[in-house]
Amino acid sequence: METAKDRKIREAREFFSRISIRSSLFIGISGSVSYEPKEDDDIDIFLIAKTNRLWISILEVLIFRRIYRFNDLCLSLCMDDTYAKSYFTDLKEGLAVKDSTRVVPISGETYFKTLIRRSSLVLKKLDEDVSVGDDKNPPRTPTFSPLEFLAFVFVASWINLRAIVVSKSNPKKGEGEFDTIFSLHTCYFDTVKYRTLNDMYLRGEPLTEANTSNP
C-alpha cells in the first residue's frame, strides 16, 4: 500500500518530469514530506537556481503549478547558487542541519551533495571527515537581466501579499503564522512553527511533529 510520503514524492516527481525549469541547479522535496507527512501536508520544494536566475525559475514553477493545478506544491525554500554556497558554508547548528540530510532529490542530486558538504556540521551529521571541494566545472553565471528584475518585482510582490493574507487568515495559531523573507537571491517562509521546532531541537527535546524546512 502506497503511504502518504510515497504518494507525495511520486506526485512531485511526476510534476517536474512534465516541465523543464531551464535555470534550476537542484530541485528537492523538504519539510514534512522528507520525514513522515500527514495526508493534508503541502509538498515543500527546495529550489536552487543558477545565480541571477532565481526569480525567473520561481515564476516558471508557479505558472506550471497553475496550469497543472498542483495546489499541494509549495515553494518554501528557494535560493540561487551564490546564496546557496554562502548559506551552507556558514550554516549554524540547528534543525536546518538535520533537514539538509533529509532532502529528497528530484533533480541535481550530485550538485546538492557537493553543496551541503561545504558545511562542517552537515559532514558531522553524515559522519564524514573530509569536505568535498567545488565542482571542477561550476555552472556558468548568467548576467543579471531586466527580465530577472521584472520577475523579482512581480513575483516577490505577489508572494508577499498572498503570504500576508494566508498567514493572518490561518486558524492554526502558531503554525499558520509566517513571514516571507526575500531578496534578489533568496526567498523562503520563516514560520512560527519552524522556529518553535528549532528551539526544541537545540534544547534536545524530542520532536513530536515532522518539521518544515526553512533556513
* Residue 22 belongs to domain with CATH number: 3.30.460.10
Is the CB of residue 155 less than 8 Å from the CB of residue 124? no
The answer to whether residue 208 sits within a structural domain is no
Is the CB of residue 24 less than 8 Å from the CB of residue 47? yes
In the chain, the number of structural domains is 1
Give strand ranges (E) for 159-212: 178-182, 186-191
The answer to whether residue 209 sits within a structural domain is no
112 vs 206: which has the higher pLDDT: 112
The answer to whether residue 115 sits within a structural domain is yes
The answer to whether residue 152 sits within a structural domain is yes
Which pLDDT band, with edges at 50, 70 and 90, does 172 fall under?
low
Which pLDDT band, with edges at 50, 70 and 90, does 136 fall under?
low
Region 131-148: what's the mean pLDDT? 75
Res 211 pLDDT > 70: no
CB atoms within 10 A of CB 73: 21
Whether pTM exceeds 0.75: yes
The answer to whether residue 101 sits within a structural domain is yes
Among candidate residues 27, 34, 121, the one with its CA nearest the CA of residue 78: 27
48 vs 167: which has the higher pLDDT: 48
Which pLDDT band, with edges at 50, 70 and 90, does 215 fall under?
very low
Which pLDDT band, with edges at 50, 70 and 90, does 17 fall under?
very high
Chain-centroid distance, C-alpha 173: 23
Structural domain boundaries, residue 79: 4-133+141-202
Which pLDDT band, with edges at 50, 70 and 90, does 164 fall under?
confident
CB atoms within 10 A of CB 123: 17
Res 144 pLDDT > 80: yes
Q: What is the side-by-side order of every strand in the sheet holding 104-107?
A: 104-107, 24-29, 43-49, 73-80, 186-191, 178-182
Res 176 pLDDT > 60: no
Could you give phi then psi for residue 87, rounded to 5 degrees? Answer: -60, -50
Render pLDDT for 60-103 as a digit per residue (tens, 0 to 9).
Answer: 999 999 999 999 999 999 999 999 999 999 999 999 999 999 99
The answer to whether residue 156 sits within a structural domain is yes
pLDDT at residue 169, rounded to an integer:
66
Which pLDDT band, with edges at 50, 70 and 90, does 134 fall under?
low
The answer to whether residue 56 sits within a structural domain is yes
The answer to whether residue 177 sits within a structural domain is yes
Give strand ranges (E) for the chain: 24-29, 43-49, 73-80, 104-107, 178-182, 186-191
Side-chain half-sphere exposure of 5, counting CA atoms within 13 A: 12
